[in-house]
């Protein structure tokens, strides 16, 4: 039995806690508050903000943990990497790689103009001056936030100034990034690397809510928005991203947009995504990436290539239930699902994450 320190207790980290406990591992979970299902499920919950590396190192030493990890959190991954490196614990993605991925400006700069899937961008901060040299509309977003917090599609100069202030308010380093707007469907690209080789790649549609830029409504696998050629290009781009970010082992996740059949990167991170896509991939391909991560990290089992060979090839959809913050008042319809989970009970208060359409549950439906 190993002792695992999990950073975060939201539903996506709860997936990891459940999986680790299934193998008999002892799980200590850490978060700033007990506001997610992982707090009650963990063997030990400690109410502590995980942003400070020194505090996480001390916590890991106090509990004699064998590994530190998280799922679905850009904020957690640099801390996971640095704390693990300092303690000599197993590391799938280095702190340096996680930091570059977590900083959208650094990520764009690292990719450089020669990467086909990169886009023009500018750095801005509070009190931004003239509109940068991009034609309207364009995207303004925080430099180091996730969950679509503070992201806006800007159509004129007034919107631009308001959007910059909102984005800066959601950024931990007080910076925002302006990017060329890409008009096309979104795709999610989940991959897995072993010793620098991309041994698995799944491309799914990432469909968003009407009127809410970037807020995901559902994922669909296989993609209906990406041709076979686009899927191949997305895999090639993911390999370029892994090389540029110096990610050689473990999961890698990217959001991309497709314009005239060409994929362009929106963001990339050396982790499993924050949408439970490992479960959609399991139901539609028979490959469980969460199992692979736990075995790779805690058991030291370098995954064999055969583990990524699809056991089936069926279509499936992961649908989110979402609503504005307030009292939980949503339910799925009665269609049969392979898996269904609510994040809140009826009449619970839905916490503002993006403050517009916040997730309150999800389900997976496949043709299997």
Reported for 345-352, long-range contacts at CB under 8 A and 24+ positions apart, including other chains, are 349/325, 350/323, 350/324, 350/325, 350/326, 351/35, 351/325, 352/325
CA-CA-CA-CA torsion sign (238, 148, 49, 289): negative
Residues 286 and 329 in one domain: yes
Give the model's confidence band at 148: pLDDT under 50 very low, under 70 low, under 90 confident, else very high: low
Whether residue 102 is contained in a domain is answered as: no
Regarding whether 226 and 200 lie in a shared domain, the answer is yes
367 contacts: CB under 8 Å, gap ≥ 6: 314, 315, 316
Same domain, 239 and 165: no
221 and 342 part of one domain? yes
Strand order of the β-sheet with 358-366 is 262-269, 250-259, 186-194, 197-208, 216-221, 316-323, 358-366, 339-342
Give the model's pLDDT for residue 130.
67
CATH of the domain at 72: 3.40.50.20
Strands 326-327 and 250-259, bridge-based pairing: unpaired
Is residue 84 located within the same domain as residue 136?
A: no
Confidence (pLDDT) at 202: 98
Average pLDDT over residues 337-363: 91
**C-beta of residue 59 within 8 angstroms of C-beta of residue 30:** yes
**Whole-number Å distance between alpha carbons of 11 and 17:** 10
pLDDT over threshold 60, residue 360 = yes
> Which has the higher per-residue pLDDT, 68 or 132?
68
**CA distance readout (Å), 225 to 157, 220, 228, 236, 334:** 32, 10, 10, 17, 27
Q: Following DSSP, what letter does each residue of 231-296 receive, concatenated?
A: HHHHHHHHHHHHHHHT--SEEEEEEEEEETTEEEEEEEESS--SS-HHHHHHHHHS--HHHHHHHH
pTM of the model: 0.93
pLDDT band at 215 (very low <50, low <70, confident <90, very high): confident
Confidence tier at 318 by pLDDT (50, 70, 90): very high
Do residues 156 and 217 touch, judged by C-beta distance below 8 A?
no
Q: In whole angstroms, what is the distance from residue 242 CA to residue 246 CA?
A: 6
Percent of the chain with pLDDT over 90: 77
Residue length of the chain: 368
Query: How confident is the model at residue 135, as a pLDDT?
Result: 86
Helix (H, G, I), strand (E, B) or coil at 354: coil
Is the model's pLDDT at 147 over the cut of 60?
Answer: no
> Do 249 and 279 have their domain in common?
yes
Structural domains of the chain, count: 3
Q: What is the dihedral of CA 46, 49, 52, 58, to 10 degrees?
A: -10
- Return the pLDDT at 278: 98
**Selection from 211, 226, 228 nearest residue 263 by Cα:** 226
Q: Which of 155, 242, 132, 121 is nearest to 192 (CA)?
A: 242
Mean pLDDT, rounded, for 242-268: 96
Over 80: is that where the pLDDT of 291 sits?
Answer: yes
pLDDT at 368 over 70: no
Question: CATH code at 144?
Answer: 3.30.1490.20
Residue predicted with more confidence, 117 or 1: 117
Q: Which domain holds residue 286?
A: 186-366
φ, ψ for residue 331 (rounded to 5)? -140, 150
Does 251 reside within a domain? Answer: yes
In a domain, 213, yes or no: yes
Does one domain contain both 238 and 292? yes
Whether residue 297 lies inside any domain: the answer is yes
Q: Does the N-terminal peptide bond of residue 31 adopt cis geometry, omega within 30 degrees of 0? A: no
Tell whether omega for the bond before 277 is within 30 degrees of 0, i.e. cis.
Answer: no
Question: Which residues touch 214 (CB under 8 Å, ≥6 apart)?
Answer: 148, 151, 186, 208
Distance of CA 304 to the CA centre of its chain: 25
Same domain, 140 and 176: yes
Average pLDDT, the chain: 93
Task: Express each pLDDT in 219-247 by its tens digit.
Answer: 999 999 999 999 999 999 999 999 999 99
| Residue 218 confidence (pLDDT) | 97
Q: What is the DSSP letter of 351?
A: P
Question: Strands 3-7 and 26-31: what pairing?
Answer: parallel
Residue where the block lists tokens 């110096």 = 246
Q: Mark whether 250 and 345 lie in a shared domain.
A: yes
Question: For residue range 30-57, what is the model confidence (pLDDT) as tens digits?
Answer: 999 999 999 999 999 999 999 999 999 9
pLDDT at 222: 97
Q: 214: pLDDT confidence band, cut at 50, 70 and 90? A: confident
């Amino acid at each position: 039995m190993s002792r695992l320190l999990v950073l975060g207790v939201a539903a996506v980290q709860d997936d990891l806690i459940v999986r680790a406990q299934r193998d008999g591992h002892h799980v200590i979970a850490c978060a700033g508050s007990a506001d997610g299902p992982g707090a009650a499920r963990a063997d030990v919950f400690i109410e502590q903000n995980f942003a400070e590396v020194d505090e996480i190192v001390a916590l890991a030493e106090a509990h004699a943990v064998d590994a530190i990890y998280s799922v679905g959190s850009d904020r957690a991954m640099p801390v996971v990497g640095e704390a693990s490196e300092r303690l000599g614990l197993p590391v799938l993605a280095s702190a340096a790689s996680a930091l570059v991925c977590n900083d959208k400006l650094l990520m764009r700069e690292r990719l450089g103009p020669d990467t086909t899937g990169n886009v023009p961008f500018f750095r801005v901060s509070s009190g931004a001056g003239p509109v940068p040299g991009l034609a309207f509309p364009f995207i303004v977003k925080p430099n180091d936030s996730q969950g679509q917090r503070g992201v806006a599609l800007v159509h004129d100069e007034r919107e631009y100034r308001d959007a910059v202030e909102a984005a800066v308010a959601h950024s931990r380093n007080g910076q925002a990034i302006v990017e060329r707007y890409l008009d096309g469907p979104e795709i999610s690209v989940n991959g897995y690397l072993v010793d620098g080789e991309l041994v698995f790649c799944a491309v799914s549609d990432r469909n968003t809510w009407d009127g809410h830029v970037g807020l995901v409504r559902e994922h669909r696998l296989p993609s209906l928005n990406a041709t076979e050629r686009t899927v191949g290009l997305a895999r090639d781009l993911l390999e370029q991203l892994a090389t540029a970010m110096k990610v050689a082992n473990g999961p890698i996740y990217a959001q991309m947009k497709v314009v005239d059949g060409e994929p362009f990167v929106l963001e990339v991170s050396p982790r499993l995504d924050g949408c439970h896509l490992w479960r959609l991939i399991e139901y539609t391909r028979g490959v469980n990436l969460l199992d692979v991560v736990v075995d790779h990290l805690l058991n030291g089992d370098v995954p064999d290539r055969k583990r990524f060979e699809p056991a089936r090839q069926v279509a499936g959809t992961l649908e989110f239930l979402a609503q504005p913050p307030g009292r939980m008042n949503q339910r799925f319809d009665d269609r049969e699902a392979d898996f269904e989970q609510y994040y809140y009970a009826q009449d619970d208060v839905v916490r503002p994450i993006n403050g517009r359409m916040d997730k309150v549950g999800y389900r997976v439906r496949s043709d299997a």
